[in-house]
Amino acid sequence: MTDEPLNRIVIVGGGTAGWLTALFCARLASMADAAPLSVTLIQASDIAPVGVGEATVPPLKSLFAFLGLQEREWMAACGATYKLGIRFVDWRAEPGEYWHPFFRFRGDLPVGLEEAHIWLAARERGDAVAGPLDRVCLPHIEACDRGLGPRASLDGPPALAHAYHLDAGLLASYLQERAVAAGVVRVIDRVDDVALDPESGDIASLTTQHHGAIGGDLFIDCSGFRGLLIDGALDEPFESARQHLLCDRAVAMQVPGGRGRGSIPSFTTATALRGGWAWQTPLYHRVGAGYVYSSDHISDDDAAHELRDHLGEGARDAEARHLRMRVGHRRRSWVRNCVAIGLSSGFIEPLESTGIFLIQRQLELLRTFFPDRGDNSGLRDAYNRRLGAAYREVLSFIAAHYQPSDRRDTAFWRDATAAPLPEDAAALLSRWAQDASALEPSDVFVDPIWSSLSWICVLEGLGVKPGRASRLYARLGSDSLAEALRRSAERSAGTLDELADHWELLTRARW
C-alpha cells in the first residue's frame, strides 16, 4: 500500500448514476494542479438502464452547478419542467388531498414554519382558519392550481423554491455527451467477471467480453439493482426495508401531456391506489406515470390494469414496463476499493423522489472523503456512517407517509398501516404527539434532508394532530393569530403576482 494519489477510476454502468458519477469525477479530475486521474465508464449495450427516475428535489440545482450545467440548456435538452412540490391524493380514508411543497430557507428555518405554528395555535384555540395548513400558510398550492411556475422570467432568482421533472433517458444521453467531452473514456461492453487481488482482496480488474481486462485503482459500481461489484464480487450484505415498506414492484407508462397556457402542472402527483400508489411527473413533451405496488397484494396484470384506469384515455395504448424493486440498502456501500452508487447501493421507494438525490449525497460524500492508494479505512467508515444516516432518514420519512394513515379499505392498506415505523420516525412522531414544537429532525438525523415543516405538512395532511401547539404562539390571542395569518395571505398573494405561467416560461426558455 502507498499513499500515492489514485490515478484510475473505473465506473460500471451507464444509467443516471453512472453518467452523473462520470461527469462528477471528470470535474474532480479537472481541478487545478490535480494529479492525473483517468475516468473510464463501462456500459453494457444489452442491459437497459431503469430509466424511470424523473422527479427530483431542490438540491439537484447545486449538483448541476458543480457539474457546470446551465439550467436553460439542460432543461431544454431533457424536456424538463419545474416542480414546486408533491400533491398527495387519497392517502386517507376520506378522499382528498394534501401537499408537500418545497420551501425557501431564511437561515436554518424554512419560510412558512412560523405561519404553520400560528395556524396550529389558531386551530387549537378553536378559531376559524381559512383552510388546511398547507394552503393557508404557503403560496405553492395556489400557484399550482393556477398553472404557474416558480418565477416571473428566466432571469433572476426564483420567487418559490423548486426542483425539476426531467426525462431520465434524455438526461443520461446529455450527461454522457458532457462527460465524454470532459475526457471520460466510454467502453461499450459487458463486464463478465471481476478479478480480486489475492493478497488485499481489493478489486484488481474487470473482465469484459471484448475489451479484455480493465484495471483501476477505484471501482465505482453503478450497475443498478444487480450490484455486480458490491454484491456479485464483494458479497456485501443487503439490509432489506420490506418490514417497513411493502411495495416491491412498479409498472411504468408514458402518456401524452398538454400544450398551451396552464397545461403543464408544476408539481408531481402521488395518488394512493388499491395496492400502493401512482406517480405522474409532467414533462415538457409527455407525462411519466407509474404504479408502485406490493406483489403480495396485487398481481402485475391487475396493477397495469388499475394504472390504465387511473390515467384514463391517454394510457389506453401505452406500453407497460414492469420493474422489480429491491427496497433497502447495502450494509456498507464503500467496501475495499469499490464504492456502490445509485441503485446498486440502495433504493427506498420513490414517493419523495429521492433516488437521484441519494446519488448526489453519495457523490458529495465521495468528494469529502476522497481516497488515495493507501489505507482508506477511516475515510470509508466515515462515508458509510454518513450514507447510512441518509438512508435511515429517507426510510423514516417515507414510512411516515403510510403508517399514520386511516385508510383500511384493502388488504394492502390494512397491512401498510400495521407495518412498524422505523425507530427514528417513531421517535419524531412521539414528540409530535406531545408538542408541535418538539418535532425537530436535527435532534434525530445527521445533516437532515427534510426540515420540521416537511414533517408537519405530511403529518397534518394525514390527519395526525400534535398533542399541543407551540407554547409561544398559544400565548397569543385570537385577534393576533388571525392578523398574522391575514398578513401571511397577503404575502402569498404578492408572491403569486410575481409568477409566470409554467408552460409559457418553459416555452420561452426554448427560444
According to CB under 6 A, which residues from 171 to 210 bind ligand FAD? 190-191
Alpha carbons 3 and 414: distance in angstroms, whole number:
56
- 49 forms part of the interface with ligand FAD (CB under 6 A): yes
* Candidates 46-54, 114-122, 434-442, 468-476; binding stretch for ligand FAD (CB under 6 A): 46-54
Alpha-carbon gap, residue 283 to 55, rounded angstroms = 10
The CA dihedral of 89, 93, 95, 97, to the nearest 10 degrees, is -40
> Rounded to an integer, what distance in angstroms lies between the CA atom of residue 333 and that of residue 370?
14
Q: How far apart are CA 267 and CA 143, in angstroms?
A: 10
Site string for ligand FAD, 143-172 (x = CB under 6 A): -------------------------x----
Of 131, 137, 164, the residue nearest 149 (C-alpha):
164
Where does residue 100 rank: exposed (0-12), middle (13-18), buried (19+ CB within 10 A)? buried
The residue count of the chain comes to 511
Is the CB of 341 or the CB of 484 nearer to ligand FAD?
341
CA dist 476 and 342 (Å) reads 48
Query: According to the binding rule CB under 6 A, does residue 356 interact with ligand FAD?
Result: yes
Q: Which is nearer to ligand FAD, 14 or 132 (CB)?
A: 14
Using rule CB under 6 A, residue 222 touches ligand FAD: yes
d(CA 474, CA 124): 8
Our measurement of the distance from residue 306's CA atom to the centroid of its chain's CA atoms, rounded to an integer in Å, reads: 25
Q: Which residues contact 362 (CB under 8 A, 6 or more apart)?
A: 333, 339, 341, 342, 345, 387
Residue 310 binds to ligand FAD (criterion: CB under 6 A): no
Smallest separation, CB 436 to ligand FAD (Å) = 30
Cell numbers for 273: 391506489
Kindly write out the interface string for residues 406-445 of this chain, putting x where it contacts ligand FAD by CB under 6 A and - elsewhere: ----------------------------------------
Give 132 or 276: the residue with its C-beta nearer to ligand FAD. Answer: 276
Minimum CB–partner distance for residue 428 and ligand FAD (Å): 23
Nearer to ligand FAD, 53 or 265 (CB): 53
Which residues are tagged catalytic? 83
CB of 376 to ligand FAD, least distance (A): 23
**Closer CB to ligand FAD, 4 or 192, in the complex:** 192
Which class for 359: exposed (0-12), middle (13-18), buried (19 or more C-beta within 10 A)? buried
Q: Verify binding: residue 342, ligand FAD, rule CB under 6 A.
A: yes
List interacting residues with ligand FAD (CB under 6 A).
Answer: 12-18, 42-44, 47, 49-50, 52-56, 168, 190-191, 222-224, 226, 228, 250, 290, 292, 323, 325, 342-344, 350, 353, 355-356, 359
